[in-house]
């Protein structure tokens, strides 16, 4: 009797593994909350601040930079009840700092809100997407933005192919190409890379003081941007285990030397990578099992236990019948 019950249970689990269990689990949370920290050594940056009531621009060289990203899901942002099943809205803030004389000093701050599909992770722009247009003095100033492609994560059950990943500096989604498999802290990851050759993004009027000119007023400058972005993705969940950027951002103006606003390689700290691997490695393995072997295991073992249960049940009846005088 026990074998029969277990057989039926496993058979049902096997049949429902993909259409029910996996479908429910392979959905991002509406109330996400996470923090990731990136650091880069020997980097260059532009430090804009106020000194004695005047704007000052320091060109930092060979400094350590830290970038702290916080992600917060905002369930209330998805007001349409039907969309709550399919869409999520997450806010991400990034605070960049430089180690100046042993003290972390704020350089820039950004705030961005992104709506995306809870399964495919593709941007949907359903619920008031925005990006920061302010600075450390006014971090709340934002403007609307239309996002494209992937932003926070990859889809569940990642494929070894090229995806579109959002690049905020370009304001568009660019190709993120699959490179290889790589084990990271014991977790299998798919490595993807997005390469953006350095080029002019836009022009902007900036203070001449940025270029070391003591004269007052502004100068028209080219905003230059290049980046090699590499992501290590847990393939079952689509979550980033590690991220790294090789940045080359600068301002160029005729008659002046180029000024780097951010240059160098910055990536997730070892502590962040370890925490991600510990959290998502086991979850990814479980999700992969449900999406893969569980169907065959559940149905196969279920049928065997059912057969065993039937055999024991009828075998016992025949045995008792043969002993009856």
Burial class, 270, CB count within 10 angstroms (exposed 0-12 / middle 13-18 / buried 19+)? exposed
pTM: 0.86
| Nearest of 104, 19, 34, 42 to residue 67 by alpha carbon | 104
Per-residue pLDDT band at 167 (split at 50, 70, 90): very high
In this prediction, residue 311 carries a pLDDT of 47
In this prediction, residue 137 carries a pLDDT of 58
Do residues 6 and 131 touch, judged by C-beta distance below 8 A? no
| CA dist list (Å): 199 to 94, 95, 208, 227 | 24, 25, 22, 10
In this prediction, residue 315 carries a pLDDT of 52
Q: Is the pLDDT of residue 319 over 90?
A: no
Q: Is the pLDDT of residue 321 over 50?
A: no
In this prediction, residue 76 carries a pLDDT of 87
Tell which wins on pLDDT, 41 or 318: 41
Distance of CA 254 to the CA centre of its chain: 38
Per-residue pLDDT band at 53 (split at 50, 70, 90): confident
As a whole number, mean pLDDT of residues 145-167 equals 97
List pLDDT tens digits, range 133-152: 865 456 678 999 999 999 99
Distance of CA 108 to the CA centre of its chain: 20
Tell which wins on pLDDT, 26 or 106: 106
Tell which wins on pLDDT, 227 or 18: 227
Write down the domain spans for the chain: 1-29+293-325, 31-291
Q: Rounded mean pLDDT of the chain? A: 85
At 78, list the tokens.
Answer: 């998805």
The DSSP result for 227-266, as a single string, is EEEEEEE-TTT--EEEEEEEEEEEEE-TTS--EEEEEEEE
In this prediction, residue 16 carries a pLDDT of 44
Per-residue pLDDT band at 21 (split at 50, 70, 90): low
Tell which wins on pLDDT, 217 or 309: 217
List pLDDT tens digits, range 290-304: 776 555 444 444 455
Q: In what order do the strands lie in the sheet with 163-167?
A: 142-144, 130-132, 103-117, 87-100, 54-73, 33-51, 259-268, 240-252, 218-233, 187-207, 172-184, 163-167
Per-residue pLDDT band at 10 (split at 50, 70, 90): very low
């Amino acid at each position: 009797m026990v074998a029969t019950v277990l057989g039926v249970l496993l058979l049902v689990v096997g049949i429902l593994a993909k259409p029910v269990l996996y479908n429910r689990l392979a959905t991002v949370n509406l109330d996400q909350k996470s923090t990731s920290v990136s650091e880069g050594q020997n980097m260059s940056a532009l430090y804009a601040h106020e000194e004695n009531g005047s704007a000052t621009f320091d060109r930092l060289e060979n400094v350590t930079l830290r970038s702290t990203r916080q992600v917060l899901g905002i369930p209330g942002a998805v007001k349409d009840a039907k969309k709550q099943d399919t869409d999520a809205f997450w806010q991400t803030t990034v605070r960049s700092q430089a180690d100046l004389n042993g003290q972390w000093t704020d350089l820039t701050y950004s705030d961005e809100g992104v709506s995306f599909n809870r399964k495919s992770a593709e941007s949907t722009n359903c619920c008031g997407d925005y990006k920061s247009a302010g600075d450390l003095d006014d971090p709340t100033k934002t403007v609307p933005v239309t996002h494209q492609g992937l932003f926070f994560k990859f889809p569940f059950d990642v494929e070894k192919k090229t995806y579109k990943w959002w690049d905020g500096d370009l304001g568009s989604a660019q190709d993120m190409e699959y490179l290889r498999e790589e084990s990271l802290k014991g977790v299998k990851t798919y490595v993807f890379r997005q390469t953006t050759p350095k080029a002019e993004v836009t022009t902007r009027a900036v203070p001449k003081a940025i270029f070391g000119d003591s004269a007052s007023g502004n100068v028209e400058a080219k905003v230059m941007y290049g980046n090699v972005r590499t992501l290590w993705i847990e393939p079952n969940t689509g979550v980033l285990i590690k991220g790294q950027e090789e940045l080359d951002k600068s301002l160029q103006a005729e008659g002046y030397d180029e000024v780097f606003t951010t240059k160098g390689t910055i990536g997730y700290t070892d502590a962040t990578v370890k925490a991600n691997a510990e959290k998502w490695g086991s979850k990814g393995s479980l999700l992969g099992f449900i999406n893969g072997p569980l169907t065959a295991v559940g149905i196969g073992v279920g049928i065997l236990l059912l057969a065993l249960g039937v055999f024991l049940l009828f075998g016992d009846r025949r045995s008792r019948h043969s002993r009856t005088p």
